[in-house]
Structure 1
Amino acid sequence: MSTATYTVSGMTCQHCVASVTEEIGEIAGVTGVDVDLASGAVTVTSETEITDDAVRDAVVEAGYEVVAA
């Protein structure tokens, strides 16, 4: 089990949280996505190691930006 936390900018509402959660959740091996709207922290839990690039791509697909990993 692997866990990584990222800071995502641009999220302003629960719809934003849902979009980011859905896109990251589609990455193979991801078992959980926890988004804290107030801080922009996104914690990704996975069965195997997930690359930062895969998470960044998913966040961009949702319309947001990873500003720290």
Structure 2
Amino acid sequence: MSQTITVEGMSCEHCERTVSEALEGVDGVTAVSVDRETATATVDGDAEVESLVEAVEAAGYEASA
């Protein structure tokens, strides 16, 4: 299953990498694609959306489903 969340505050490639790494650390995530231009992260797997949002916020960015 694929889910897309909105991620605010990314301004560079490092930001994308930080968000990607945070999401990859969530149980159930199999693939991640982060795009600062559209302020989105698309996540494949069976992780709960709340866990994805929490991971992004713990990395220092604002996120919403």
TM-score normalised by L of structure 2: 0.92
Count residues with an aligned counterpart.
65
Quick check: 1:58 aligned with 2:55? Answer: yes
Question: 2:28, 2:47 → 1: CA distance?
Answer: 8
What is the aligned-residue RMSD (CA, Å)?
A: 0.9
Runs of 4+ in structure 1 deviating by more than 2 angstroms, as ranges, are none
For structure 1, the residue ranges without an aligned partner over 5 or more in a row are none
Question: 2:42, 2:35 → 1: CA distance?
Answer: 9
Identity %: 38
| Deviation string, structure 1 residues 13-46 (Cα, Å, up to 9, x no partner) | 0110010000110111211110111011110001
Aligned AA (2:38): S
5 Å matches for 1:1-69? 2-46=1-45, 49-67=46-64, 69=65
